[in-house]
Amino acid sequence: MAINLQTPIDYLKGVGSSRADLLRKELGIHTYQDLMNLFPNRYIDRTQYYKINTLPHNNADVQVIGKIVSFSEVGQKRGKRLVAKFQDDTGTMELVWFRGHKWIRDSLKLNTPYVAFGKTNRFGSTFSMPHPDLEPLAEHEKNLRSAMQAVYPSTEKLSNRGISNRVMSKIIQQLFVDANGKFDETLPESLRKKLNLIGKSEALFNIHFPKSPELLTKAQFRLKFEELFYIQLQLIIKNLAHKSKIKGFPFEQIGEHFKTFFEEHLPFDLTNAQKRVLKEIRADLGSNAQMNRLLQGDVGSGKTIVALMSMLMALDNGFQACLMAPTEILSVQHYNGLLDLCKELKISIKILTGSTKTSERREILESLKNGELNIIIGTHALLEDKVEFHNLGLAIIDEQHRFGVAQRSKLWHKNSTPPHILVMTATPIPRTLAMSVYGDLDISIIDELPAGRKPIKTVHRYDKNRLNVFRFVKDEIAKGRQVYIVYPLIQESEKMDYKDLMDGYESIARDFPMPDYQISIVHGKMKPADKDYEMQRFIKGETQIMVATTVIEVGVNVPNASVMIIESAERFGLSQLHQLRGRVGRGAEQSYCILMTGHKLSNDSKTRLETMVKTSDGFEIAEVDLKLRGPGDLMGTQQSGVLNLKIADIVKDKDLLQHARYHAKKILNDDPKLASADNAVVLDTYRKLSKFKNIWNYIS
């Protein structure tokens, strides 16, 4: 019988309670399973032994066989260091420890053969090895030998307390001994044959103790595939369960509101992408299951019209709809936009935010509860317990990554039957990430811009070109256009940012003097009312230049603004640059985005700027961003634990991810209940995964 991998790590021979505590705190290892899934960072060649007189002069990993002939303590600026003289038949080197002297002295014997392993430093003609990995030669010869030795993740605390890489390797070896080298298979035989995958036990052995580079490659492929396969399997099952269990309101008819708007009041022809997405939404709303759909579309791709037409479907079926946005500015913009689009329709729309006056709030809540109010737009204020709907049929959440999971589920529970959910984002999410993070949502993409929109011209200019840039800005203002000038905001140093912004404002005021030019300024330290006043002046065209920090990243719509200048552009992330660029190009005129930087740029900064100049495709930009930043950063802080993968890498293994999703889907299509004998291992593993979330606790 296989050992129970959920056994607490304390019970493994050679661990004990104090080591177990350290492993829990430092590496999150609670059970045998966690230890088995502590995969190595890299591998080093342990087949070669050096003589002391042939040690390489570079700081390389080496191993030497010799004896400790003496110890001494040497004073230094802070405390002492312990030095051991280590000899072989060709010479002497030093082994050095800066901490743990007593424990080290007590545990090592003089004149006994050891294998010393570590990086060497050279001082004059003497080599020294700080904090070496030492193992008695007799034991070294008995151990599981492999040409490539695994190097495990570690922390300073583990090294200080004597849990070296050798110790980690030893306790993992002990786990293999206890398990007899046998671990339960987790993939069906038919799939392993089809994809030529090695077995689970062989893969685990070769990931920790590779017999050859070829077997290591096979082990890595097998374990990466398995990890991604089960992530996708869980997401697809979640989606299917959602559709079969959670009944939604079937919106059976396309009625008066929708038809009238579509035939008489649509301000422009829908793009093919908008038509396709509306068809997908309509099919969801007409089925008996609750819609759970993610709508991705670049800045300005026309998501708002799709949202409104979806809400009109709800109204036509006798239901209310709501649209929740993360900021007041964005809520107000949605509200004004929808009011304008619906002015000819007989429907009531209201807005509810933190600054709605008490008397007005009371009226809104009353009309929402008794069903007189059709559509409500708002911020987090919509989640408050006091907000009750008569019959909420559709909830739309904009820029959903800004809302936590708990906040979203509050909306679900506003009705006995959960409303249909449409989640919208203007932050394009790379396909691989969307498949892993939102794999349980159906995904719609608006991937074309409305007709008549001109692509924004993007250029990179250095500080020395500033005079030319300002000359260009004056020409644009002379044509009646408006300009944004944005400064970075780095939370850690508000003082510095404020200074950058004020210095910039002063130099702009000198170059664009009153009364010929009017300038608005907006930053995070202003009172909301002052901020709003300045924004309104710019929106009404009373000021030609808006100097701001990134507060305008989301939700200011000024079709007359045609130039976006981003100062210190190298300090912005790619998605932020793309979002800021999307603030211009909303009218019929040619728009420009100018990225200003100093001359010293890191390689990543250069890649970001080149990408911005080369393309305006949000999905292409998101792919580059994913490569540069990794998945955790891309999803923002609420979702930073998003993919806590043990061995796969969502960027490097994206082809494997698609491969894994395809096979997970195929297995569930052929055998939805995983009832066949071949899929018994899949069902068993899936159940364990659901029960013990410590294996791949991957989704936030």
The architecture that CATH gives domain 457-615 is 3-Layer(aba) Sandwich (3.40)
Residue pair 686/232 in contact by the 8 Å Cβ criterion:
no
- pLDDT of 695 higher than 60: no
Q: Round to whole Å and give the CA distance between 46 and 568.
A: 48
pLDDT at 93: 94
CA distances from 448 to 296, 334, 335, 428, 451 (A): 11, 21, 24, 13, 9
pLDDT at 160: 78
pLDDT at 76: 79
| Residues in Cβ contact with 97 at an 8 Å cutoff, skipping those fewer than 6 apart | 81, 82, 104, 130, 131
Closest-CA residue to 551 (of 591, 497, 595, 589): 497
Q: What is the pLDDT of residues 124-160, one digit of tens each?
A: 888 999 988 888 988 887 765 666 888 898 888 888 7
- DSSP letter for each residue of 629-683: H-HHHHT-GGGTTTT--SS--TTTTHHHHHHHHHHHHHHHHH-TT--SSTTHHHH
How many Cα atoms are found within 13 Å in the side-chain-facing hemisphere of 278? 21
Mean pLDDT of the chain: 85
Residue 74 banded pLDDT, cuts 50, 70, 90:
confident
The CATH homologous superfamily to which domain 256-446 belongs is P-loop containing nucleotide triphosphate hydrolases (3.40.50.300)
Q: Round to whole Å and give the CA distance between 442 and 435.
A: 10
| Residues in Cβ contact with 243 at an 8 Å cutoff, skipping those fewer than 6 apart | 287, 289, 290
Tokens 């987790």: give the residue: 186
* 222 CA to centre of own chain: 25
Fold of 59-144: OB fold (Dihydrolipoamide Acetyltransferase, E2P) (2.40.50)
Q: What DSSP character marks residue 249?
A: -
- pLDDT of 486 higher than 80: yes
Region 297-317: mean pLDDT is 89
Range scoring the smallest mean pLDDT among 108-122, 186-200, 348-362, 643-657: 643-657
Range scoring the smallest mean pLDDT among 68-72, 318-322, 617-621: 617-621
Fold of 1-46+148-183: DNA polymerase; domain 1 (1.10.150)
Q: What DSSP character marks residue 199?
A: P
Strands 545-548 and 482-486 turn out to be parallel
Range scoring the smallest mean pLDDT among 75-79, 134-138, 169-173: 75-79
Cis peptide before 515 (omega within 30 of 0): yes
Entry pTM: 0.65
Angle at 425 between CA 419 and CA 427, to 5 degrees: 160
pLDDT at 460: 95
Closest-CA residue to 199 (of 220, 181, 222): 222
Domains 1-46+148-183 and 457-615 share a fold: no
Residue pair 415/389 in contact by the 8 Å Cβ criterion:
yes
The residue ranking higher by pLDDT, 148 or 516, is 516
- pLDDT of 35 higher than 80: yes
Closest-CA residue to 113 (of 89, 140, 139, 137): 137
Q: What is the pLDDT of residues 525-553, one digit of tens each?
A: 778 788 888 888 988 899 999 988 766 64
- pLDDT of 635 higher than 50: no
- pLDDT of 431 higher than 80: no
Q: What is the pLDDT of residues 353-397, one digit of tens each?
A: 888 888 999 999 999 999 999 999 998 888 888 889 999 999 999
What values do phi and psi take at 499, rounded to 5? -65, -45
What is the residue extent of each domain of the chain? 1-46+148-183, 59-144, 256-446, 457-615
675-691 per-residue burial string, b: 16 or more CB within 10 A, e: under 16: eeeebebbeebbebbee
Q: What DSSP character marks residue 618?
A: H
